[in-house]
Amino acid sequence: MPALANNELRIVGFLCNWCSYGGADTAGVARASQPTDLRIIRVPCSGRVDPLFVLKALLNGADGVLVSGCHPRDCHYGTGNFYARRRLEVLKRFLPILGIDPARFSYTWVSASEGQRWQKVVSRFTEEIHALGPAPRFEAVEPLAKACSWTQESKGPVSVISPELLEQLKKAIADKLPELDCVLGWQEGRDLLHSVPLFIRSEDDLTKLRCDATCHNNLVRYLPDLKGQKVGIIVRSCEARSVVQLLQEGLISREELVVFALPCQGLLDLPRLEEALGRYQRLEDLTLTETTLRLRVDGQERVFQTADFRQSRCEQCPGELPAIADQSFGDFSGQTASQTLPPELAFLDSLNLQERMGFWRACMERCILCHACRNSCPMCVCRDQCIAESREPHWQSAEASVKEKFFFQIIHALHLAGRCTGCGECQANCPVGLPIFALRAHLNRIVSELFDGYQAGCDPKAVPPLLTYSQEEAHIHERSWE
Amino acid sequence: MRIGVFICHCGSNIAGTVDCAQVAAKAALFPDVVYATDPMYTCAEPGQAAIEEAIHSHKLDGVVVASCSPRMHEPTFRKTVERAGLNPYMFEMANIREHVSWIGRDIEANTRKATELVRLAVEKLRHNRPLQAQEFPITRRVLIIGGGVAGIQAALDCADGGIPVVLVEREATIGGKMAKLDKTFPTVDCSACILGPKMVDVAQHPLITLYAHAEIEAISGYVGNFSVSIRQRTTYVDWSKCTGCGTCTEKCPSKKSYDHFNEGIAPTTAITIAFPQAIPKKAVINKDFCRQLNGKKCAVCAKVCPTGAIDFAMEDSFVTENVGSIVVATGYDLMDWTIYGQYGHGRYPDVITSLAYERLMNASGPTGGHIVRPSDGKEPKSVVFVQCVGSRDPAIGRPYCSGFCCMYTAKQAILTKDHIQDSQSYVFYMDIRAPGKMYDEFTRRAQEEYGTHYIRGRVSQIFPDGQGQLTVLGMDTLLGRPVEIKADLVVLAVGIEASRGARELAEKLRISYDAYGFFLESHVKLKPVETNTAGVFLAGVCQGAKDIPASVAQGSAAAAKVLTLFARETLASNPQIAQVTAKRCVGCGKCLRCCPFGAIKSSLVKGEEKAEVIATMCQGCGLCTATCPQGAIQLAHATDDHILAEVNALCRL
């Protein structure tokens, strides 16, 4: 399609067939003159509008996107627009973190009889988009070479599991093992500092078990694949929330699961530690206390304050364990969540919209589309069916452009809206160190604001907020077009 | 694919502000387009024939028509391509009339926009797949909501056509507003004499099940298969035993009860039968005035009832009825005229509504048809009628005309003279709206034969003159001078509003309503009794102001629609429904949770839980498709790929 001539801008409308499309027809029948910028895509219901369509349009060159449906309580399908309202409001609040002006997206309700209202909505929205001017193109913005600052205000200890506690845990697992297909834990990886998952199937395997602050892999990621088997899993607060979330979504079965719970004060941020450590050949010894980490590397003694290398997400960890443990070990008291923002989110908050887009543009230059963020996410249950790689539906082209990479990040983030339990594995596993957890942290903040402090993974009986609705939304104040 | 594109001129409707030939020329260059043309009238017979011809001669397997709204002619053109051997879903429409040519005059911008909308349709069509409708059985029963004259007509026509009818009426008797009227215009024949037999027919018809004093609690399902929960409101009288003998109403000691049927012009007893010809003729206790139900010892009715029908412990009960179609005929209410200070806020007993006046004139009313003043029971000699009270008044948000007030006011003026020979009537009017057959002649008779004094103008104030009369101050705008009339009685032609609870009912029915609560027809001219919800039809004033003949006509029209729908044993399902790709489904059940129709169930496929769509229940909203993270459930004809193709056609630079 040729670029638009004159000063017309690219505005895309998604209109439900029953009300708003009819309202636009009514406006036409009444010869209600309107700006010509808007192009209408007819959908059956505003509930059909996947927020990703809006982002696809905005990333691909739309200067504005408008979604319009039936008035709440007047949905042709009864409840479609109630869901749409929640999802589109989350989307609107999500846009700024990407560097997209939220004013470029709006959603509203126009009934089939409201031709005048439609004329007003189109005229107002078009005027507003013209006032903003053409939208900056993601692939054309200046990359912002600015690194996220990781320093934090409050610093806590990291997790150390005493040998006695470890023995207790091993004994409990050994007792339960005969009736289980396997138990998920951690073991030493390529060296003492790195852990990998351990699938305990025998008492021999059990000797390899370790559960300290280096063990950051979220084992819950494996649970959906083991459905149908009787599985034990060692969880700490973050893993426990992931378990709860999967239970809520029915992707794992409580009856097939035995949960061994451990307390946790915090985990080590290995990518940052590696950076501080520099290149090394051999890691000969490791001693970890709550406050210090002693390493003998290539014959040299290195001492680190664990507080400096505590994972940023551990600051926000509510600490307390959702009530799903079958067996608990150790003392769970003492930890409270800090009210500070995750540093990556605080960093993005400090940037303006243009800088944010530039920042992500720079990040996406580095993204290698390895999908490690997705593959390590306990909530990414689509596995091989991820829409980022499917032909039908064909959401993403195979082109490895910054735009497509960014869209992949957006898919991952939006699919986690209201579901992300904040384990931070996505970011911890990013080989190029992109602060992508910021997108999830921002979504979690939005969900909490909109839905009475809702946090994913805290209550096995709760309904995820984007899979339900209320007829009157306490915290969603739609704009008036008057 | 081989796509043909037809850019309709729609006479000058489109061609006036869109260069159709240029759009066609550009469309010819779009991918897969092998033929593009710009006919004058595509929907006309030669236009449709040209599409069929092009399909054959150019071996087209998809067609795009750019013309009016698909809400108008999509079904027309789907049939056209089907006749030529294509699947009806290998067709797309671009709306270049309502959304382009009619809303802007800039030919260049319009042509550009039209071209893009055609591009959009072509891109969507390239993703279309042939869809096949399935047949599903229907329940050949109809629910009629509202037992006024429109509902009665619809019920009788349906039942006479062999369709079992469930008639639900909120009041204790059917008959609606018409049952309260004395005589009807323009023939001045007795309302009860023409409506009464129809009411009896309803009661006696073997195919009609009547639920009076009942309301719609909930409605689920879809065309052909609705399930309706009906709340039978408590009457405290077991209607299976009540014979309607009326002994209870004679003996009831609570005689200050508000009489809804008689518009409150005289009090009645706490236990009542609405009027002598009520259908069903059963007693109902008004809970607000019953002594027994308000903690006092009484139960006189229970003692005198010969059949022991009184049941003070009765509670609301619920009935579920399965029907295939619904006719809504919920009528109207009068607006609350007491907001008008100039008419006395309802403080003066001799300022009454026209509906109350009907009860005063009616032989079955509390006065036995003698017109008397509510205040002192004297015959009024000077009666002032005020029209448009709460109609055509934008100041109170009611700009619409109530339609029939001009006519009944003329009728009431005539009847006043008939009742009281030496009386004089005055009518304050804004315009006389008498467009029906014999209507204008009728209003002229009121003036010329009956000497009714018509004054064009509004009433500014009504107040008691202290000597038992009311002073009516107004303006005669034709003479340009103020008038003052001494009136014994003032009758206000109070405007109508949507029936109480109309909006809530519309939500249960999933039909649209306008800003005033009147239900929205599917097309203002061509589908006046259809709604946008298949299988739900409208009759009577619930759709907008109309008089008795028009309401009856709509009742019959709605019945005809029901009979048309039920002429077949089965209905073709809409094939635009959700479909699951089992391979992609991970069985998370998110679609199941959201589906507004319970149309998705979980089923085992090779030992794994997968979503499965129940084809007859899916209504095609696509909420599941927007919910499924894997894109495993796709709404046919509006798949992710369809919408992405449209987005990409618009946005990819």
Residue B246 region, left (φ>0) first, then alpha (ψ -120 to 50), else beta?
Answer: left
Query: CB of A111 within 8 Å of any CB in chain B?
Result: yes
Rounded-to-integer distance, Cα B81 and Cα B84, Å:
5
Which class would CATH give B578-636? alpha beta
Rounded-to-integer distance, Cα A393 and Cα A405, Å:
17
CB-based burial of residue A338 (10 Å sphere; 0-12 exposed, 13-18 middle, 19+ buried)? middle
Low-confidence ranges of chain B (pLDDT < 70): 653
| Topology at the third CATH level for domain B334-497 | FAD/NAD(P)-binding domain (3.50.50)
Q: Which of B192, B203, B197, B205 is nearest to B169 (CA)?
A: B203
Domain boundaries, given as residue ranges, for chain B:
3-125, 142-233+316-331+499-565, 334-497, 578-636
Higher pLDDT, A125 or A333: A125
CB-based burial of residue A7 (10 Å sphere; 0-12 exposed, 13-18 middle, 19+ buried)? exposed
Give residue A22's identity as a one-letter amino acid code.
G
Question: Residue A154: is its pLDDT beyond 80?
Answer: no
Nearest by CB: A79 against B108, B514, B596: B596
| Whether B653 contacts A10, CB under 8 Å | no
Question: Residue A321: is its pLDDT beyond 80?
Answer: no
Query: CB of A29 within 8 Å of any CB in chain B?
Result: yes
Closest chain A C-alpha to B333 CA, distance in angstroms: 22
CB-based burial of residue A482 (10 Å sphere; 0-12 exposed, 13-18 middle, 19+ buried)? exposed
CA distances from B391 to B170, B337, B350, B446, B456 (A): 26, 10, 21, 22, 16
Give the list of residues 6+ apart from residue B305 with CB closer than 8 angstroms, or none: B242, B247, B248
Contacts of B70 in chain A (CB under 8 A): 42
Helix, strand, coil shares of chain B, percent, nearest 5, are 30, 25, 45
Q: Residue A475: how many CB atoms within 10 A of its CB?
A: 9
Contacts of A416 in chain B (CB under 8 A): none
Question: Residue A5: is its pLDDT beyond 70?
Answer: no
**Strand positions, DSSP E, A97-248:** 105-109, 182-188, 195-200, 231-235
Token pair, residue B600, equals: 């998705």
In tens, the pLDDT along A180-200 reads 999 999 999 998 999 999 999
User: Are B3-125 and B334-497 the same fold in CATH?
Assistant: no
Closest chain A residue to the Cα of B594, Cα to Cα = A467
Going by pLDDT thresholds of 50, 70 and 90, the confidence category of residue A368 is: very high
3-state SS, residue B588 = coil
- Please tell me the predicted confidence (pLDDT) of residue A152: 58
Share of chain A above pLDDT 70, in %: 96
Closest chain A residue to the Cα of B649, Cα to Cα = A1
Rounded-to-integer distance, Cα B321 and Cα A324, Å:
45
Q: Residue B338: how many CB atoms within 10 A of its CB?
A: 13
In tens, the pLDDT along B233-289 reads 999 999 999 999 999 999 999 999 999 999 999 999 999 999 999 999 999 999 999
CB contact under 8 A, A60 and B98: no
Going by pLDDT thresholds of 50, 70 and 90, the confidence category of residue A308 is: confident
Give the list of residues 6+ apart from residue B67 with CB closer than 8 angstroms, or none: B6, B7, B8, B10, B14, B42, B43, B73, B93, B94, B95, B96, B97
A260-274 in b/e burial notation, b at 16+ Cβ within 10 A?
Answer: bbbbbbbbbbbbbbe
Closest chain A C-alpha to B271 CA, distance in angstroms: 38
State the virtual CA torsion across B545, B547, B550, B555 in degrees, nearest 10: 80
- The pLDDT of A282-305, averaged and rounded, is 90
- Please tell me the predicted confidence (pLDDT) of residue A3: 42
ipTM (interface predicted TM): 0.93
- The pLDDT of A118-141, averaged and rounded, is 95
Q: Which of A137, A130, A49, A138 is nearest to A88 (CA)?
A: A49
- The pLDDT of A360-380, averaged and rounded, is 94
- Alpha helices of A177-325 — where are they, by DSSP H? 203-206, 237-248, 270-277, 313-316
Question: What φ, ψ does residue B315 adopt, rounded to 5°?
Answer: -130, 165
- The pLDDT of A211-226, averaged and rounded, is 91
Rounded-to-integer distance, Cα B44 and Cα B74, Å:
14
- Please tell me the predicted confidence (pLDDT) of residue A159: 81
Rounded-to-integer distance, Cα B504 and Cα B329, Å:
14
Closest chain B C-alpha to A428 CA, distance in angstroms: 23
User: Any idea what DSSP says for residue A192?
Assistant: T
Which of the residue ranges A272-281, A318-327, B123-132, B234-243 would you say has the lowest mean pLDDT?
A318-327
Rounded-to-integer distance, Cα B541 and Cα B148, Å:
10
Closest chain B C-alpha to A255 CA, distance in angstroms: 17
User: Any idea what DSSP says for residue B133?
Assistant: -
Nearest by CB: B647 against A3, A60, A75: A60
| Whether B578 contacts B600, CB under 8 Å | yes
Query: CB of A471 within 8 Å of any CB in chain B?
Result: no
The architecture in CATH of the region B3-125 reads 3-Layer(aba) Sandwich (3.40)
Rounded-to-integer distance, Cα A430 and Cα A412, Å:
14
Q: Is-above-0.80 flag for pTM?
A: no
CB contact under 8 A, A48 and B112: no
> Which domains are seen in chain A, by residue range?
11-135 (3.40.50), 163-271+307-328 (no CATH), 343-450 (no CATH)
Nearest by CB: B651 against A10, A393, A394: A10
Strands B470-476 and B459-464: antiparallel
The alpha-carbon radius of gyration of chain A (Å, integer) is 25
Rounded-to-integer distance, Cα A223 and Cα A233, Å:
9
Contacts of B590 in chain A (CB under 8 A): 249, 467
Cα angle: B49, vertex B53, B56; to 5 degrees: 145
Which of the residue ranges A89-103, A383-397, B65-79, B179-193 would you say has the lowest mean pLDDT?
A383-397
- Give the residue from B29, B118, B580, B621 with the most A CB atoms within 10 Å of its CB, the best one to mutate: B621
State the virtual CA torsion across A377, A380, A384, A386 in degrees, nearest 10: -120
- Please tell me the predicted confidence (pLDDT) of residue B482: 96
| Whether B391 contacts B400, CB under 8 Å | yes
Going by pLDDT thresholds of 50, 70 and 90, the confidence category of residue A1 is: very low
The alpha-carbon radius of gyration of chain B (Å, integer) is 30
User: Any idea what DSSP says for residue A242?
Assistant: H
- Please tell me the predicted confidence (pLDDT) of residue B653: 53
CB-based burial of residue B302 (10 Å sphere; 0-12 exposed, 13-18 middle, 19+ buried)? middle
Token pair, residue A85, equals: 């309202």
In tens, the pLDDT along A28-55 reads 999 999 999 999 999 999 999 999 999 9
- Give the residue from B23, B119, B584, B650 with the most A CB atoms within 10 Å of its CB, the best one to mutate: B650
Give the list of residues 6+ apart from residue B390 with CB closer than 8 angstroms, or none: B334, B335, B337, B340, B396, B398, B402, B494, B495, B497
Token pair, residue A33, equals: 């003159």
Give residue A123's identity as a one-letter amino acid code.
S
- Give the residue from A14, A49, A65, A77 with the most B CB atoms within 10 Å of its CB, the best one to mutate: A77
State the virtual CA torsion across A50, A54, A57, A59 in degrees, nearest 10: -110
Q: Please provide the CATH number assigned to the domain covering B142-233+316-331+499-565.
A: 3.50.50.60
CB-based burial of residue B447 (10 Å sphere; 0-12 exposed, 13-18 middle, 19+ buried)? middle
